[in-house]
Structure 1
Amino acid sequence: MKITLPILSFLLRQLLILPVLLPCCRIILTDAAGGKWDLLLPNIGISAMHMQLLNNDKVVIFDRTDNGRSNISLPKGKCGNDPNDCTAHSVEYDVATNSVRPLRLLTDTWCSSGAVMLDGTLIQTGGFNHGDHAVRVYKPCRGYYCDWQEFKHGLTQRRWYATNHILPDGRQIIIGGRLQFNYEFYPKVPLVDKPYLLPFLARTNDPKAENNLYPFVFLNVDGNLFIFANNQAILFDYTKRKEVKTYPTMPGGDPRNYPSTGSAVLLPLKNFQGGAIGAEVLVCGGAPKGAYLSAKNNGNFVTALSSCGRIQITAFNPQWTMETMPLARVMGDMVLLPNGKVLFINGASVGTAGWDLGRNPVLSPVIYHPDKPSGSRFEVQKSSSTPRMYHSTAILLRDGRVLVGGSNPHPKYNFIKIFPTDLSLEAFSPSYLDPTSASLRPKIFSPASQSIIGYGQQLTIKFTIPPGRLNKSSAMVTIVAPSFNTHSFSMNQRLLVLGGGKVVAIGLSKYKIQVVTPGSKNLAPPGYYLLFVVHQDVPSEGIWVQIK
C-alpha cells in the first residue's frame, strides 16, 4: 500500500491518542516566525463540524447526529434516540484544562446554524431530518452536568444551511436554508411571528448547484443587513421587509457560497465616534461556476478561486475592489484576530464542498493586513501537517490563539479513505504570541473580566507592560464578538476598534487608556465581547465584557 501524506498523518495521530477526558500536554508541531501549530488533543471523539466559544472559556463543539457511532461515549443511562448508539455527537472543550466532556444531542444538527444571545446562551437552530425545525439551547455554566436543551418545533420553517445573526434588539434573525427563500426570528412572539419572504434568495439560487446556501450576513452600521449570496449582495431593511440597496455583482461572476464555499468577514469597524463610519466587507475564495457539478458528476476537480472582493457597503456608489490571494482556497475559514488582521485558514485548492469533492489541502494559513496598500496585504504563515477539508472549523480563543478542528469529507466516520475523518483539535498561534513578542504584550488588570459596560460611555482600561517597552502611539483597544463557525462562515463575527484618549502612566510599568464604548446597538449588538489592549500589533489576553 502506498503511504500518502494524509494516511501517514492519520497513523501518527492515532499513536498519540490519549484518554480525551483528561488534560493533555500540548505537542508542538512547528515553531518559527509566521506562527506556530500545537496539537492540543489527538482525539476528542467527534469531528468538529460546528464550534462556539462561550463566555466561561468553554467551547461547544458538535457534529451531525445521523452518521453513526462516534468515538466518545455518553455517561451511563444517557443514550440518544437509538438505544444501540450511546455515543456523544457533541462535546464541551475546556480551554483551561485542555479536556473535553461528552454532551447529549438528540435532534439532528447536520449543517445547522446559531449565535449567542445577550446573556451568553447559545441558541442553535435547524439541521436535517427531525432536527430541521429544532431550536437547541446551551447555557454556559460551571457545573459538570450542563447540557443541551432541545425544542423540536421551535422554528416555523425547515432550516438546513441557514445563517443566523444577532440583531440590535437582541433577537436572532434566521435567513434562508435549502429551498427556503425566507427568514424568521427567534425568540418568537406568539401568534405574530411567521416566515417572511426574501425574494433575493430565490433570485440567487442556482437550480442545479444552489450556491446561495449559508448566505454571508452582516449587520451594517445603519441597522440594516448586508446579505451576500452566490455572487450578489443587497442591503436589507428587515423591519420594513424591503431591499434598500442592490450592490454590483462581484466581478468575475463566480459563486462564493455553499457548495462553492468561499468565506467572508466584516472588516474591523473604527473611527466611529463623532461622525459617519464606513463599513467594509471582504469576500474571498470559493470555487468557479460549474465546479461543483464538474466534481460531482464527472470527477473533474477544478482549481479553486484565488480572488478576493472588497467593498465599502456604506459608500454612496459602492464598487468591488479585487485582490489576489497567494494561495487559491475553497472551504477556507476567515477569523478576525484581536489586532484587526484577518486569518485565512483550512480548506483545499481544488474542488468544492460536498462529500469527497475536495482535493489538494491548503496547509498554510495566510494573514491579511486590511490597512496595508493593495498588493502587500497577504502574508503566508507556517504550514500545518493536518489537512482540514470539508466540515472543518476555526474560532478565536481569549488568549489570542485560533482553535482549529474538524475535517470529515465522508458521509460516515472513515479513517481509511483519502482525507480520513479527523477527531483532533489544534491551535494556531499567530506570530504575536511568539516569545520574542512577550516584552510588548500588555496585561489588563482593570476592569475585571465579566464586567458589564454600557453604550457611549467612557471606559478606563488599566494594564501593565514590561519596563521601557511601551510605545504610547501604537496602543489601541479592540472588542471582538465570539462567532458561531461552521461551513467556512463565522456567523456574528465582529471587531470594533474603540477610540479614545492617549496612554497615561499611573505607576511603574502601569498605564491606563480611556476609550469610548460603541454608541449604539447597530454598531455592537448587546451581548458578550472579548476586550483586548493591542500594543504594536501584539494583543493582551482578552477579558470578557458584556455590553447591555
Structure 2
Amino acid sequence: MVTFFLLALLFILLLLLNSFPAMCQIGREGEWCLLHASIGISAMHMQLLHNNKVVMFDRTDFGPSNLSLPYGRCRYVPSDNVLKNDCTAHSLLYDTGTNTFRPLMVETDTWCSSGSVLPDGMLVQTGGYNDGDHVVRTLAPCNDESCDWVDFPGYLSERRWYATNQRLPDGRIIIIGGRRQFNYEFYPRNSESSSSFWLEFLRETRDDHENNLYPFVHLLPDGNLFIFANTRAISLDYKQNRVVREFPSITADDPRNYPSSGSSVLLPIDENEPIEAEVMVCGGAPRGAFSRAKQGIFDAASRSCGRIKVTDENPSWAMEDMPMPRVMSDMILLPTGDVVIINGAGSGTAGWEIGQNPVTRPVIYKPHGVEDIRFSVMSPATRPRMYHSSAVLLTDGRVLVGGSNPHPYYNFTGVQYPTDLSLEAYSPPYLRPEYDPIRPRIMNINESFRYMQSFWVTFTVLRFLKLSVVSVRIVAPSFTTHSFGMNQRMVVLKTSELYCVGSEEYRVTAIGPSTAEIAPPGYYLLFVVHAGIPSSGMWMKIQ
C-alpha cells in the first residue's frame, strides 16, 4: 500500500513538472524559465501562428519520439529503415497562453525542411528527406483540436532538403536551393512557374562541404531578393530570373551557411526615414572546420558580424566582433528593434557530434548603439542548445527556445550533449517589473490594417514621457530552423500626432506600410514601444 502511494505521488510530481513552469532564473540581464522538462520531441523547427500557438516539429526517420499519437493512431512507412510502424508524434502544437501542447500527425519526413505562412495565416511547410523531399504540407490554425497536417506528396518539382523559403509581395512563396539543388521554385505553382528555375549563383557558392545550404534570403524594398551563400551575396530579380547585382564578399573567408551555420537578419526598415535595407550576418566557422571536426579537431567559431546597406550605391561590409565566437546560433528581432543572438556553440560546426563548447549566454545587439559597445551579454541558460535547436519571438516579447539533438537518434545517456526535449522561455531585460510604469499596453486599434492607410492605436501607460520616444512597429514572426529565421522582418511605421484621450490613456496615429515589397500581405505582430520598452504585441492582418 505504501509502495503504491509513493508511486502515485511520484507520478503526480512528474505531471506537475511537465505541466507548469519550474523555478525561473532571474537576473538583470534577463530571465530564463523552464516551461516543460519534456515536450516529447526535439524542436528542430518552430513557427508562431496568429492564434498564439507555436508549431514545432522534428524529423520522422530516427525511430520513436517520447510523445505518443492520440487515439491509437500510427503511421506506417514501408520505406523507413528504422521504424516502419510508428505510433509516436514528431510534431506538436504549443499554446503559449495555457503552456500546454498536443501532438500532431506528420506523415512524411520533415528533416531539415523549410516553411512560410501564407497571407491567410496557413503554414506551408516544404520538403524534407527521403519520402518527404518533394512534399508540401499545410497546417491551418485552429482554436480547438481539429487542425492537423495535410500532406501533398510530389508537389515540389525538385528535392528540397536544406532549402530556404521567403514570402513574396504577391502572396506566393519562393523556395530556394537545397542539397545539390541550384534552382528555385514557387508555391503555389501556376502555368508560368510550374517547374524550377536555374540559379548559377548556388552552384558557384558550393564548396567541398557545401556551406551554401539554407541560404540567407531577405526580401528587399525594391522587390528583389538578397541571397547570401557561403561568403557571397547577390540581389535577384526572381520575376525575370536575373541577377541584378553582386555584392562584395563578406570580409574574412569564414563561410556563414550550413554546415558552417552563422545566422542573418534584415535589420528593421524605418518608414520615417528614407528607405534603407541593411542586412546583418553573424558567426559561422572557418573554412575546412567541418572536415577537421570530423577528425576531432574543433576550430573556434567565427566571432565576426558584418552589416551591409544593400540600398547604398556602393555597398560595403562594416565588420565588428561579438563578445564570443558562435556557430549554430539564432538571430531574433526583438520588438525594440534590437537583435538577440541565442543558442549555439563556440567551436566546431553543425552536424552529428561535431559542435563543442556550448554558448549559453544570449547576446543583445543594438543596431543604433555606440560603435564597439553595441553588444550586451545576457544571463546564461542552464541547458546547452546545440545542433537542431531553435528559437522564436512570442507575442508578449519573450523568446521561446527549444530543441538540441546532435545525434542521429534520440540519445539521453553516455554522450556529451544528450538529446534535449525541454522548452524554455528567455525574457529580455525590457520585461523586468521595474519597467512596468513606462510599459505601454495596447487597448485597441481603430481600423483594418491596409497599405498607406492611417489608423490610430490607443494605449495606456502609467508614466508617459514624450512623443519622440513612442514608435509603432510590426513584426513578421519567423519560421526558424538551423540557425535562420525565414521571413522574419520588422517595419517601423510612420507616426504623426499623439495626444492624451483620458487618464493614462493615449492615442497615436500611424500609417500602414507603403508597399507590399516593404511588408508582404499577411499577419504581423504590432507593438507600441515607449522609451525603449515594448508593449505586448497585437495581431494585425495587412489586407
TM-score by length of 2: 0.95
2:215 maps to 215
Task: Return 5+ residue gaps in structure 2 as ranges.
Answer: 1-9, 78-83
Residues 281, 306 of structure 2: 8 Å contact kept = yes
1:154 maps to 155
Residues 18, 43 of structure 1: 8 Å contact kept = no
Determine whether 1:281 maps to 2:275. Answer: no
2:444 maps to 446
Alpha-carbon distance in structure 1 between the residues aligned to 2:342 and 2:65: 26
2:347 maps to 350
Q: What's the secondary structure of 1:226's corresponding residue?
A: strand
Which stretch of structure 1 is more off in the superposition, 79-88 or 59-68? Answer: 79-88
2:123 maps to 122
Q: CA deviation at 1:372?
A: 1.1
Q: CA deviation at 1:76?
A: 2.2
Alpha-carbon distance in structure 2 between the residues aligned to 1:535 and 1:268: 17
Residues 16, 42 of structure 1: 8 Å contact kept = no
Equivalent residue in structure 2 for 1:330, among 321, 327, 331: 327
Equivalent residue in structure 1 for 2:455, among 437, 453, 459: 459
Matches for 1:495-510 after TM superposition, within 5 Å: 495-510=490-505
Q: CA deviation at 1:328?
A: 0.7
Residues 458, 515 of structure 1: 8 Å contact kept = yes
Q: CA deviation at 1:323?
A: 0.4
1:51 maps to 46
Residues 392, 399 of structure 2: 8 Å contact kept = yes
Determine whether 1:399 maps to 2:392. Answer: no
Alpha-carbon distance in structure 2 between the residues aligned to 1:27 and 1:326: 30
Alpha-carbon distance in structure 1 between the residues aligned to 2:43 and 2:466: 40
Determine whether 1:415 maps to 2:416. Answer: no
Alpha-carbon distance in structure 2 between the residues aligned to 1:165 and 1:51: 15
Matches for 1:124-523 after TM superposition, within 5 Å: 124-190=125-191, 192-206=193-207, 208-271=208-271, 276-296=274-294, 298-416=295-413, 417-447=415-445, 452-466=448-462, 468-523=463-518
Equivalent residue in structure 2 for 1:75, among 70, 78, 87: 70
Q: What's the secondary structure of 2:324's corresponding residue?
A: coil
Q: Which amino acid in structure 2 is aligned with residue 180 of structure 1?
A: Q
Q: CA deviation at 1:481?
A: 0.1
Residues 18, 38 of structure 2: 8 Å contact kept = no
Q: What's the secondary structure of 1:27's corresponding residue?
A: coil
Alpha-carbon distance in structure 2 between the residues aligned to 1:16 and 1:234: 56
Q: Which amino acid in structure 2 is aligned with residue 464 of structure 1?
A: T
Q: Which amino acid in structure 1 is aligned with residue 456 of structure 2?
A: T
Alpha-carbon distance in structure 1 between the residues aligned to 2:38 and 2:397: 23
Alpha-carbon distance in structure 2 between the residues aligned to 1:447 and 1:235: 36
Alpha-carbon distance in structure 2 between the residues aligned to 1:261 and 1:127: 18
Deviations 1:289-337 (A, max 9, x none): 11011111x1100000000010001110000000000011000000000
Determine whether 1:104 maps to 2:105. Answer: yes
Deviations 1:323-362 (A, max 9, x none): 0000110000000000100000000001000000100000
Alpha-carbon distance in structure 1 between the residues aligned to 2:124 and 2:168: 13
1:541 maps to 536
Q: What's the secondary structure of 2:222's corresponding residue?
A: coil
Q: What's the secondary structure of 1:133's corresponding residue?
A: coil
2:5 maps to none
Q: CA deviation at 1:223?
A: 0.2
Deviations 1:249-280 (A, max 9, x none): 1111210000000000000000357xx41110
Residues 169, 525 of structure 1: 8 Å contact kept = yes
1:30 maps to 25
In structure 2, relative to structure 1, the CA distance for the partners of 1:455 and 1:23 (3 Å cut) is farther
1:60 maps to 55
Q: Which amino acid in structure 1 is aligned with residue 396 of structure 2?
A: D
Q: Which amino acid in structure 1 is aligned with residue 149 of structure 2?
A: W
Residues 186, 193 of structure 2: 8 Å contact kept = no
Residues 327, 346 of structure 2: 8 Å contact kept = yes
Which stretch of structure 1 is more off in the superposition, 22-31 or 166-175? Answer: 22-31
Q: CA deviation at 1:152?
A: 1.1
Alpha-carbon distance in structure 1 between the residues aligned to 2:192 and 2:515: 30
Equivalent residue in structure 2 for 1:531, among 519, 526, 531: 526
1:91 maps to 92
Alpha-carbon distance in structure 2 between the residues aligned to 1:481 and 1:19: 35
**RMSD between superposed Cα atoms in Å:** 1.6
Alpha-carbon distance in structure 2 between the residues aligned to 1:142 and 1:152: 27
Alpha-carbon distance in structure 1 between the residues aligned to 2:135 and 2:356: 33
Q: Which amino acid in structure 2 is aligned with residue 335 of structure 1?
A: I
Alpha-carbon distance in structure 2 between the residues aligned to 1:80 and 1:373: 55
Q: Which amino acid in structure 2 is aligned with residue 497 of structure 1?
A: V
Residues 389, 405 of structure 2: 8 Å contact kept = yes
Alpha-carbon distance in structure 2 between the residues aligned to 1:163 and 1:18: 39
Q: Which amino acid in structure 1 is aligned with residue 235 of structure 2?
A: L
Q: CA deviation at 1:238?
A: 0.3
Task: Return 5+ residue gaps in structure 1 as ranges.
Answer: 1-13
Alpha-carbon distance in structure 2 between the residues aligned to 1:460 and 1:378: 34
Q: CA deviation at 1:146?
A: 1.0
Q: CA deviation at 1:387?
A: 0.1
Alpha-carbon distance in structure 2 between the residues aligned to 1:251 and 1:190: 42
Residues 164, 486 of structure 2: 8 Å contact kept = yes
Residues 527, 536 of structure 2: 8 Å contact kept = yes
Q: What's the secondary structure of 2:19's corresponding residue?
A: coil
Identity %: 55
Q: CA deviation at 1:191?
A: 7.2
Alpha-carbon distance in structure 2 between the residues aligned to 1:102 and 1:119: 23
Runs of 4+ in structure 1 deviating by more than 4 angstroms, as ranges, are 14-17
Q: What's the secondary structure of 2:227's corresponding residue?
A: strand
Q: What's the secondary structure of 1:428's corresponding residue?
A: strand
Q: What's the secondary structure of 2:252's corresponding residue?
A: coil
1:9 maps to none
Deviations 1:99-150 (A, max 9, x none): 1100001110000000000000000000000100000000001121210000
Q: CA deviation at 1:447?
A: 1.5
Which stretch of structure 1 is more off in the superposition, 79-88 or 304-313? Answer: 79-88
In structure 2, relative to structure 1, the CA distance for the partners of 1:464 and 1:152 (3 Å cut) is same
Q: Which amino acid in structure 2 is aligned with residue 266 of structure 1?
A: L
